[in-house]
Amino acid sequence: MGDKDKFELENRNEDPMNYAPSVSDWGFGGANLTNTSIGLVPKVNPMAVSKGDLIGSSSCSSTSMVDAFGPTIWDHHTNSENLGFCDNGVQKNTSDTFGIRKGDPVALRSIDKTFDMGWNPTSSMLKGDIFLPNAPAMLPQRLPQFPADSAFIERAARFSCFNGGNFSDMFNPFAVPESMGLYSGAGGVMQGTQEAFAGSGLKSVSGGQSKKNEPSVGEVSKDVSLSVEHGAAGGSPPKDERSQSHVRSHDESKQRSGGSGNDSDEAELSGAGDQDEPSVLEGAGREPFAKGLDSRKRKRNGQDAKLDPAKGAAQQSGECAKDKTEIQQTGDQNPTSTTNRSSGKHGKQGSQASDPPKEEYIHVRARRGQATNSHSLAERVRREKISERMKFLQDLVPGCSKVTGKAVMLDEIINYVQSLQRQVEFLSMKLATVNPRLDFNVEGLLAKDILPSRVATSSTLGFSPDIPMAYPPLHPSQRGLIQAGLPGMGSSSDLLQRTIHSQLTSMAGGFKEPTQLPNVWDDELHNVIQMSYGTSAPSNTQDEDGSLPSGQMKVEL
Amino acid sequence: MISKGATRNSNSRRVKFARRFVSALLHMRNRNPRPGSLSIEGVRTKSQRIKIAAYLSMAHAVGSRRAWSRAVLSKLGSRARRHMSRMGRSSLGSLKKKRVIRSYSPGELGQAKKLRQLVPGGKTMDICSLLEETAHYITCLATQVKVMQTLADNFSK
Q: Which residue in A188, A186, A45, A173 sits closest to A127, CA to CA?
A: A188
Distance of alpha carbon A3 from the chain centroid: 45
- Decide: helix, strand or coil at residue A512: strand
Residues of A in contact with B112 (CB under 8 A): 410
pTM for the structure as a whole: 0.41
What confidence category does residue B87 fall into, taking pLDDT thresholds of 50, 70 and 90? confident
Distance (Å, whole) CA A83 – CA A77: 10
Q: Is the pLDDT of residue A417 over 80?
A: yes
**What is the rounded radius of gyration, in angstroms, for the C-alpha atoms of chain B?**
18
Flag if A514 and B44 touch (Cβ within 8 Å).
yes
Q: Tell me the pLDDT band of B13, cut-offs 50, 70 and 90.
A: confident
Helix (H) or strand (E) holding A531: helix A517-532
- Partner residues linked to A363 by β-bridges: A354
Which residues from chain A sit within 8 angstroms of residue B66, using beta carbons?
56
Contact A454 B146 (CB under 8 A): yes
d(CA A63, CA A357) in angstroms, rounded, equals 13
Report how far Cα B98 is from the mean position of its chain's Cα atoms: 21
Neighbour-count burial for A174-201, b at 16+ CB within 10 Å, e otherwise: bbbbbbbbbbbbbbbbbbbbbbbbeeeb
CB contact under 8 A, B25 and A510: no
pLDDT exceeds 70 at position B51: yes
A419 pLDDT band, cuts 50/70/90, is very high
Q: For A312-333, how does the pLDDT look when each residue is reduced to its tens digit (9 = 90+)?
A: 444 444 444 444 444 444 444 4
Distances from the Cα of B118 to the Cαs of A57, B130, B134, in angstroms? 22, 11, 9
Q: Which helix (H) or strand (E) holds B130?
A: helix B127-156
Element (H, E) at B85: helix B78-87
Using a 10 angstrom Cβ sphere, with 0-12 exposed, 13-18 middle and 19 or more buried, the burial of residue A105 is middle
Closest CB to B48: pick one of A7, A42, A48. Answer: A7
For residue A505, the distance in angstroms to the closest alpha carbon of chain B comes to: 6
Closest CB from B81, B139, B157 relative to A506: B157
Does residue B43 register a pLDDT over 70? yes
Position A472 confidence tier, pLDDT thresholds 50, 70, 90: very low
* Cα dihedral A130/A133/A139/A141 (nearest 10): -100
The better pLDDT of the pair A41, B65 is held by B65
Confidence of residue B49 (pLDDT cuts 50, 70, 90): confident
Q: Choose the closest CB to B154 out of A49, A440, A450.
A: A440
Q: Where are the domains of chain B?
A: 44-81+116-156
Using CA coordinates, name the residue in chain A closest to B83. Answer: A6
Q: Could you give the maximum distance between any two Cα atoms of chain B, in Å? A: 55
Please report the pLDDT score of residue B106 as a whole number.
54
**Is A407's CB within 8 Å of B2's CB?**
no
Q: What are A354's strand-pairing partners?
A: A363
ipTM for this prediction: 0.86
Do B115 and A390 count as a contact with CB atoms less than 8 A apart?
no
Beta bridge partners of A512: A481
Q: Which residues of B touch A510 (CB under 8 A)?
A: 156
Cβ-Cβ contacts under 8 Å for B157 (sequence gap 6 or more): A504, A506
- B29-56 mean pLDDT: 79
Residues A373-392 pLDDT 10s: 888 888 899 889 988 888 88
Give the angle A102-A214-A287 at the CA atoms, nearest 5°. 65
Nearest chain A Cα to B135, which residue?
A393
Helix-strand-coil percent breakdown of chain B, rounded to 5? Answer: 80, 0, 20
Choose the mutation target among A17, A23, A26, A53 for the interface with B, i.e. most B CBs under 10 Å: A53
Q: Is A509 exposed, middle or buried (0-12, 13-18, 19+ CB in 10 A)?
A: buried
Cα separation, B1 vs A166, whole angstroms: 23
Best residue in B87, B123, B154 to probe A by mutation, most A CBs within 10 Å? Answer: B154
Residue type, A110: S
Q: Report which of A162, A304, A289, A144 is spatially closest to residue A231, judged by C-alpha positions.
A: A289
> Does position B36 have pLDDT exceeding 50, yes or no?
yes
- Amino acid A371: pLDDT: 75
Angle, in degrees to the nearest 10, between helices A2-12 and B40-62 = 60
CB atoms A46 and B10 under 8 Å: yes
Provide mean pLDDT across the span A63-83.
Answer: 46
Residues A250/A114, Cβ–Cβ less than 8 Å:
no
- Mean pLDDT computed over B14-35: 80
Which of A6, A16, A454 faces B84 most closely, judged by CB atoms? A6
- Rounded mean pLDDT, A443-457: 51
The gap between the terminal CA atoms of chain A, to the nearest Å, is: 34
Chain A residues touching B117 at Cβ < 8 A: 14, 18-19, 22
Q: What is the per-residue pLDDT for A254?
A: 47
Give chain A's mean pLDDT: 51
* B121 has pLDDT over 80: yes
Q: Is residue A133 predicted with pLDDT exceeding 70?
A: no
Per-residue pLDDT for A398 more than 80? Answer: yes
pLDDT at A486 over 50: no
Distance CA A308, CA A327 (A): 15
* pLDDT value, residue A162: 52
For residue A234, pLDDT beyond 50: no
Closest-CA residue of chain B to A48: B139
* Per-residue confidence (pLDDT) for residue A192, from 0 to 100: 43
Q: Per mean pLDDT, which range of A231-235, A306-310, B133-137 is the poorest?
A: A231-235
- Taking an 8 Å cut-off on Cβ atoms, the answer to whether A446 and B148 are in contact is no
* Structure confidence at residue A80 as a pLDDT band (50, 70, 90): very low
A178-225: per-residue pLDDT in tens?
444 444 444 444 444 444 444 444 444 444 444 444 444 444 444 444
What confidence score (pLDDT) does residue B96 get? 56
Q: Least CA distance to A387: which residue of chain B? A: B128
CA dist., res. A253 & res. A393, Å (int)? 40
Nearest to A53 among B6, B107, B109 (CB): B6
Work out the minimum CA distance from A93 to partner chain B, whole angstroms: 34
Q: What pLDDT, on a 0 to 100 scale, did the predictor assign at position A418?
A: 92
Question: Three-class SS string for A120-142?
Answer: HHHHHHHCCCCCCCCHHHHHHHH
Angle value at C-alpha A192, between A188 and A193, nearest 5 degrees: 115
* CATH for the A373-433 domain, from 1.10.3470, 2.30.30, 3.30.1390, 4.10.280: 4.10.280
Say whether A459 and B149 touch across the interface (CB within 8 A).
yes
pLDDT at residue A14 greater than cutoff 80: no
Q: Report the pLDDT averaged over residues A67-92.
A: 45
The whole-number pLDDT of residue B69 equals 87
User: In this predicted model, what pLDDT tens digit does every residue of A21-67 receive, in sequence order?
Assistant: 444 443 334 444 444 444 444 444 444 444 444 444 444 444 444 44
Task: Report the SS3 class of residue A236.
Answer: coil
Contact A4 B141 (CB under 8 A): no
Residue of A nearest to B74 (CA): A16
Q: Which of B13, B50, B107 sits opposite A431 (nearest CB)?
A: B50
Mean pLDDT of chain B: 78
Asked if A499 and A545 touch (Cβ cutoff 8 Å), the reply is: yes
**What average pLDDT does range B119-148 have in this prediction?**
88
What pLDDT band is residue A342 in, cutting at 50, 70 and 90? Answer: very low
Domain ranges (residues) in chain A? 373-433
**pLDDT bucket at A534, cuts 50 / 70 / 90:** very low
Structural contact between residues A347 and A137, judged by C-beta atoms closer than 8 angstroms:
no
Chain B residues within 8 A of A463 when measuring between CB atoms: 149
pLDDT of res. A105: 47
Band of residue B91 on the pLDDT scale cut at 50, 70, 90: low
Instruction: Quote the percentage of chain B above a pLDDT of 90.
Output: 5
Indicate if the pLDDT at residue A335 is higher than 50.
no
Overall residue count recorded for chain B in this entry:
157
Which range is most confident: A40-49, A88-97, A437-446, A463-472? Answer: A437-446
